[in-house]
Amino acid sequence: MAKNRQGARALRFAGAPRIAGHASIVGKKEGEGPLCGTFDRVAQDDDRFGQDSWEKAESELQKECIELAATRAGCKVGDLDCILAGDLLNQCIGSTFASVASNAPYLGLYGACSTMAESLLLGALLVDGGYADRIVAAASSHFCSAERQYRFPLAYGGQRTPTAQWTATAAGAAVVTSDPAGGDVMVTGGAIGQMVDMGVTDAANMGAAMAPAAYRTLHDFWRDTGTKPTDYDMVVTGDLARVGGDLLVELFRRDGVDITPVYSDCGTMLFAPEQDAHAGGSGCGCSACVLCGHLLHEMHEKRLKRILFAGTGAMMSPISVQQGQSIAGVCHAVVLERVM
């Protein structure tokens, strides 16, 4: 069996690549939420980031975030061996135009809201496997570009159901290095998840569509690694939000496993209930900014030593929903550990 695998699906990064630098940038609403103070930058006034379209604003947001992460890692973007990035926009143009002038090798990814976990996992693998010295993993989303692409033009003032999630205007980026002295947080393992389709067809209830995939990935990961939820200081999905998070807790409860002592969700953490974000945050940028803001800060501060970051994505498009296809979920997991 593959030497860096444990059991059927868990991956092990024996070289323990380090997080050398990270950054998070968010929109105004996100900056007013419970995690304010954990982000590197918050948009002022509007969320245009100086651009004349929402799509360009998203690219600018991701670009600034990658640049800041690189700076924190003591390098320039052009020095990186690879940029691994993705977003929700058609043909992933948010990430394309964020890195088009980077002068660095680029891998485009699509994992819906699981993209930050996918990029971090693949990036760590490139470094751990000896194919790269230093990469950046990034993801972004923008409420205004997502809303008009997936739902309605903003000016329509479309109504939202209680199960709906609010696409975060946010980006996160993390530089992963092979340098053992490169940082105090290591990427030590993870798992690539499979899609799970339980027949959910309500695009306003993506938490329900993604929870079974999160259950599957976490269940298999704990089985393969011989660990249990409480072996981690935090098991954090991103983003099941309140509806999907409750479902995940219930799915494990049926197995007699109580994940509540360690369980959190990025979409639930990002917005306060009074912020009218309904079930909570979503979008590639949501788990990206919570990881690269709040969670990594908590690790640096030694309040978290070992976390299991499980990015969840709803695999669908407006066309697939219109054609009656159900919404599958996918979940990729990454283990982050603080150097003792």
Under the binding rule (CB under 8 A), the answer on residue 206 touching a second copy is no
What is d(CA 11, CA 14) in angstroms, rounded to the nearest whole number? 9
Applying CB under 8 A, the span of 26-34, 79-87, 157-165, 254-262 interacting with a second copy comes to: 79-87
* Joined tokens for residue 321: 């929903």
Under the binding rule (CB under 8 A), the answer on residue 67 touching a second copy is no
Q: Which helix (H) or strand (E) is 189 found in, with range?
A: strand 185-191
Under the binding rule (CB under 8 A), the answer on residue 197 touching a second copy is yes
Under the binding rule (CB under 8 A), the answer on residue 323 touching a second copy is yes
Q: Choose, by CB under 8 A, the member of 46, 50, 90, 154 that binds a second copy.
A: 90
CB of 221 to a second copy, least distance (A): 11
Q: Choose, by CB under 8 A, the member of 38, 62, 99, 282 that binds a second copy.
A: 99
Residue 61 burial (C-beta neighbours within 10 Å; 0-12, 13-18, 19+) = buried
Under the binding rule (CB under 8 A), the answer on residue 3 touching a second copy is yes
Choose between 109 and 249: whose C-beta lies nearer to a second copy.
Answer: 109
Strands 10-12 and 5-6: antiparallel
- For residue 291, CA distances in Å to 20, 252, 258, 265, 337 come to 14, 24, 23, 11, 13
Residue 163 carries which side chain, given as an amino acid letter? T
Q: Choose, by CB under 8 A, the member of 74, 106, 163, 231 that binds a second copy.
A: 106
CB of 298 to a second copy, least distance (A): 28
Q: Choose, by CB under 8 A, the member of 131, 152, 162, 250 that binds a second copy.
A: 131
* Joined tokens for residue 251: 């799915």
Size of the site for a second copy (CB under 8 A): 63
Under the binding rule (CB under 8 A), the answer on residue 97 touching a second copy is yes
What is d(CA 172, CA 285) in angstroms, rounded to the nearest whole number? 6
Residue 135 burial (C-beta neighbours within 10 Å; 0-12, 13-18, 19+) = buried
* Joined tokens for residue 159: 């109504």
Applying CB under 8 A, the span of 63-71, 238-246, 288-296, 323-331 interacting with a second copy comes to: 323-331
Q: Choose, by CB under 8 A, the member of 35, 43, 69, 109 that binds a second copy.
A: 109
Cis peptide preceding 239, ω within 30 of 0: yes
317, 162 in Cβ contact below 8 A? no
Q: Residues interacting with a second copy, by CB under 8 A?
A: 1-5, 9, 11, 53, 55-56, 81-82, 86, 88-93, 96-97, 99-112, 118, 122, 125-133, 178, 191-195, 197, 315-320, 323, 325, 328, 330
